[in-house]
Structure 1
Amino acid sequence: MGKSNTQQGRIRQWFSRWLASRLPPASKVTLAHKSVFILPTSFGMLWLFLVLILFLFGTNYQNNLVIALSLLLLSVFNTCIIYSYRNLAGLTISSKSCPQAYAGDTLVFPIHLSAKQTQFSVLINYPQNQIKRLDRVTTQPTNTLISFDNSYRGIVSPGRLKIESRYPLGLCRAWSHVDLDNQHIVFASPLDAKEQLTHFDNSHEYIANDQGGHIPGVDEFKGLRQHIPGESLKQVAWKQLAQGRGMLTKEFQQPQGQPQWLTLADLTINELETRLSQLTHSVDTLSEKGQVFGLVLGDNIIPPSEGESHRIRCLQAIALVPAKSETQQ
């Protein structure tokens, strides 16, 4: 039993290497003779068996009508091979960036499809995931979403996308496995916790603090809001008023105290994944409040900042922290 599993593993590895050399990863792939594989379905095998029985029956009893029927059925099967190939050949598949996702969420990969001619009944899915059926792919570009179940953080590769069709009669199965090279960084699953927030003082020591927010001030431009009658005209956005956008007031803000720091000093603790999930939740919480914060992950220090780009940078850094087994190596 063990030897059989080993042999199957070697066969899979050999097939993966062969497939990688024949269909290398690319963000855009057009199916052609080199990338489309065809085999009879179970219904097709039954069809061929029927053809063989009819041919033997016709030759044994010298019945030309039965022989002609067997040859007709064989020609239909041969025609299905050609149409099965043509139904996938010329199909162009390209990938787009995946939306943000956390570990445990179902990833959604946007796929862009276009064809040289109308193609029917195309099935698309990632291995062991839900199959998406497209009844028709026309010459007009088509966008579809392919789901991928994932429970891990870090860099996730969905693998090869399977594209299949059994058009027109289900006698032949034409398929391809394309690697769109669409790896995606999945954030750690957020876990609500009372994470201790700290900031550096002048001696570079950690001090517990709840600073990092903003209060009304004159240091930084915050945005525009509707003007309230009676307010000072010094803050009126005259340029926007001249553009016909109405009377708007400029708002300014200033940081409140020292910025906050989220820390993970020990990367080899037993509950590493729990701590990373807590950090993820804290990053999302502080970003939602618009507070300034920094992140310390061992030697990786992200300076204090705010905004969506800072949030994504922090979440990516947390997601890419090596697992405990990798850290101990």
Structure 2
Amino acid sequence: MFQRLQQLARPRAPEPLPARLDRRRIYVLPTAFGLFFFVLLLTMGVGALNYNNNPALLLCLLLAGTALASLLHAHLQLSGLAVQAIDAEPVPAGHPLALRVHARADVARPRRGLEVRAGDTSAALHLDDGAGEAVLELPTAQRGWLDIGRLRISTTRPLGLARAWSWVWPDTPLLVYPAPEAHGPPLPEGAGDNAQARLHAAGDDVHHLRNWRRGDSRRAIAWKPSARRDQLLVREYEQPQGADVVIDWRGTAELPYEARIRRLARWVDEAERDQRRYVLRLPGQPAVGPARGALHRHACLRALALLPEAMHG
């Protein structure tokens, strides 16, 4: 029943952001406390009329006027509010995704007690100088696009007698990376003739000298050059590094489909952690790389996350 009523509420389809809340999409209903308060006022009114008690009747009318004013105030808490954008950093499947909901009010007035809810997860929305954000921890179960569905923005302020709420249905899906394999074989050997060297504290060859920084080991200090320049200098070493790592879909043919994706995701993370250049090769797609860095890692994990659910080869 509730789901059928929800389908009738605005918006009825995903919408682009920003989305502004106006009177056509804000709903107000009494809370459980509000219903109790209504019954209490009704009892007071009947008793005051029955006993012709004017002070009690005046009090009842004053409380009723206050309740009606609180309904209008709850509506105004949401009116003019706009959800500007949503965003979240991709996480591996199985980890909570931190969804940030950015909102702004076009009318400068205090707005308190706002709550944003997505499914069973909720968070407070605090506005400072008319702008603010709420951060919701959403569970993730599988790789690919995560459709968060409708977001409910609500408040029960100022008196808790009524709840005003509105729906926002962003058309922005969020990406979930595949969960990397927990344990597995080491990275494949590099291929090609583009062997490199990288800075490493335990390397073999001196690469250059640099100024001393807090936390540097005393054993790395170059004392003679430091004495000549009258300042502490530290040796930076380099360690030979193999050629580009090739992370190839064909190298995991013995594994089930999803297990192959998890292993490749693990190798991407390992290559990035070791600061190795790597290339990802997937069937039916151009090779990704060779490169390294946050953008390259995202491109590789995105390609793995968006592989079809069923594919052979």
TM-score interval, smaller chain: 0.7 to 0.9
Structure 1, residues 242-292: CA drift from partner, whole Å, max 9, x if none?
Answer: xxxxx9x999999844x3322234999883222211111100111222223
Give distance in 2, aligned partners of 1:225 and 1:317: 40
1:76 to 38, 42, 66: 66
Q: What is the identity percentage for the equivalent residue pairs of Structure 1 and Structure 2?
A: 22
User: Counterpart of 1:119?
Assistant: 111
How do 1:72-111 and structure 2 match up within 5 A? 72-111=62-101
Quote the RMSD (CA, aligned, Å).
3.7
Cα 1:282/1:13, change in 2 over 3 Å: farther
User: Counterpart of 2:218?
Assistant: none
User: Counterpart of 2:305?
Assistant: 319
Matched, 1:15 2:1: no
The amino acid across from 1:39 in the alignment is L
* SS of residue paired to 1:132: strand
Post-superposition shift, 1:51?
1.9
User: Counterpart of 1:175?
Assistant: 165
Cα 1:13/1:61, change in 2 over 3 Å: closer
Mapped contact 1:212–1:292 kept (Cα < 8 A): no
Structure 1: give runs of 5+ residues left out of the alignment.
1-7, 202-210, 217-222, 232-246
Give distance in 1, aligned partners of 2:237 and 2:160: 66
Mapped contact 1:213–1:291 kept (Cα < 8 A): no
2:123 to 103, 108, 132: 132
The amino acid across from 1:83 in the alignment is H
Mapped contact 2:87–2:101 kept (Cα < 8 A): no
* SS of residue paired to 1:290: coil
User: Counterpart of 1:284?
Assistant: 269
User: Counterpart of 1:260?
Assistant: 245
* SS of residue paired to 2:184: coil
Give distance in 1, aligned partners of 2:208 and 2:145: 39
Give distance in 2, aligned partners of 1:81 and 1:224: 71
Post-superposition shift, 1:195?
5.7
Cα 1:133/1:305, change in 2 over 3 Å: closer
Mapped contact 2:265–2:301 kept (Cα < 8 A): yes
Mapped contact 2:14–2:171 kept (Cα < 8 A): no
The amino acid across from 1:298 in the alignment is P
Structure 1, residues 115-155: CA drift from partner, whole Å, max 9, x if none?
Answer: 321111112232111x3235x53424324422212122111
Q: Which TM-score applies when normalising by structure 2?
A: 0.76
The amino acid across from 1:126 in the alignment is A
How do 1:296-311 and structure 2 match up within 5 A? 296-300=281-285, 301-311=287-297
Cα 1:291/1:141, change in 2 over 3 Å: same
Mapped contact 1:117–1:139 kept (Cα < 8 A): no
Structure 2: give runs of 5+ residues left out of the alignment.
199-206, 212-221, 226-232
Q: Which TM-score applies when normalising by structure 1?
A: 0.72
Once structures 1 and 2 are overlaid, which stretch shifts more, 75-84 or 284-293? 284-293
Give distance in 1, aligned partners of 2:60 and 2:253: 70
Question: Across the two proteins, how many residue pairs are aligned to each other?
Answer: 285
Cα 1:33/1:269, change in 2 over 3 Å: farther
Post-superposition shift, 1:76?
1.4
Structure 1, residues 75-109: CA drift from partner, whole Å, max 9, x if none?
Answer: 11111111111122222322243123111111112
Cα 1:18/1:65, change in 2 over 3 Å: closer
User: Counterpart of 2:259?
Assistant: 274
Mapped contact 1:95–1:109 kept (Cα < 8 A): no
Mapped contact 1:212–1:260 kept (Cα < 8 A): no
Matched, 1:64 2:54: yes
Cα 1:270/1:13, change in 2 over 3 Å: farther
Cα 1:133/1:64, change in 2 over 3 Å: same
Mapped contact 1:213–1:290 kept (Cα < 8 A): no
